[in-house]
Amino acid sequence: MCIATQFSRNGLTTSLYSNLIMHKRLVNHCTIALTIIPDGPILIKSGQEGAEPAKPDMEFVETYHAKGKTIYLPGSSLKGAIRAHAERIVRTVGGERRNAQQSVWTPKDPLSKAAYEYLDKYEDTAAIYKDSCTISQLFGNTAIASRLRIEDAYPSGEVKLEERNGVAIDRVFGSVAVGPFNYQVCTKGEFKTKIHLKNFSLAQLGLIGLVLRDLNDGWFGLGFAKSRGLGTVEVRYDKATVQYPGCILNDEQRIWQLGTDKVWDATTLLGAGMFLSPEEAEAYGFPTTDHQTELPVAAKSMTYGLGVEIVWQGSQVEDLLMRSVRSWRQQLTGATA
């Protein structure tokens, strides 16, 4: 007996069943390992002013990691910057309100409580997810949890720190309004982090790919004083892994979803909708034809022989993101996968 039938017969609400699909089941998972390299000065402020007069007024955020105290790029700061630019992309190709003509949208002010008041009428979490905006479906809102996680970025070697001076100019009189003050910046180093995304559609992964492309191209920056030349970085892809925990490779070396008759070629990239029943996919709004074929790499068994994974190394990660962006384009234009 399937879980859905059992819950229905017991007279339980559908919200628990829906939650099982979105956050208590894991149908696919992507991990992108990347290196962030400052392309000029960068500062993630600690938010605290030190009592020592010899230290700069604005210090880089620090923590203890590996061999001792070090600066780092907090995952929360990275996620905030990535989300903000993802919102810009969605508003550029979509809109600020949900309607039948636009497949992607996000509110004008996503931090406003009023932006999500319309979700209060829903009890079913599947309906909440389906009617949430494109950004909320990925990053979460007050009603649903985020499915994207970004690790803190720690330096893999030596970093170079400099101290700079600055002032704030009065726009009316042209004189010094605040300052002089000094601040600490990092001008050299390599910071390694990982982006994790679970139960994702390929279009959602494509949106993340576009954000990382624009970050590398300098369309937006990280941290303090971005409008004054700070915060530009280079993004280097180290490795990407897409995993299907509920699958194995059969004797013909094809991907087989356990407990079903679904089988795919070992060089197929699969979105979450491919693993769901038509009813489940419809409830959440996941496409049921969400796949890309003829990958340059093939699936292999995960550790201990249960689960399937596809691994892209170095520059191969560009291929994964390019195919995912293709699915993002298909979602915008209404084309089939």
pLDDT at 48: 66
Token pair, residue 1, equals 């007996």
Q: How far apart are CA 209 and CA 216, in angstroms?
A: 11
pLDDT of residue 8: 36
Rounded CA separation 55/63 (Å): 17
Closest alpha carbon to 129 in 153, 117, 145 = 145
Q: What is the pLDDT of residue 124?
A: 86
pLDDT for position 176 = 58
37-57 b/e (C-beta count within 10 Å ≥ 16 → b): ebebbbbbbeeeeeeeeeebb
**Sequence-ordered list of residues with C-beta below 8 angstroms from that of 293, at least 6 positions apart, any chain:** 265, 267, 268, 269
* Average pLDDT over all residues of the chain: 87
What pLDDT does residue 100 have? 67
Question: Can you tell me the distance from the alpha carbon of 321 to that of 311, in angstroms, rounded to the nearest whole number?
Answer: 13
Distance CA 119, CA 110 (A): 13
First to last CA, the chain: 32
pLDDT value of position 65: 87
Tell me, what's the pLDDT at 170?
62
Q: Is the separation of the CB atoms in 123 and 166 below 8 Å? A: no
Q: Is 299 helix (H, G, I), strand (E, B) or coil?
A: coil
Distance CA 89, CA 139 (A): 14
- Placement of tokens 């956050």 in the chain: 23
Residue for token digits 């894991």? 26
Instruction: Give the contacts of 93 (CB within 8 A, at least 6 positions apart).
Output: 104, 332
Distance of CA 116 to the CA centre of its chain: 21
Residue 272 burial (CB < 10 Å; 0-12/13-18/19+)?
buried
- Identify the pLDDT of residue 20: 47
Q: Which residues of the chain have pLDDT under 70?
A: 1-23, 47-54, 100, 166-180, 335-337
Question: Does the predicted model carry a pTM greater than 0.85?
Answer: yes
Instruction: State the pLDDT at residue 263.
Output: 97
What is d(CA 290, CA 267) in angstroms, rounded to the nearest whole number?
A: 14
Residue 57 is predicted with a pLDDT of 74
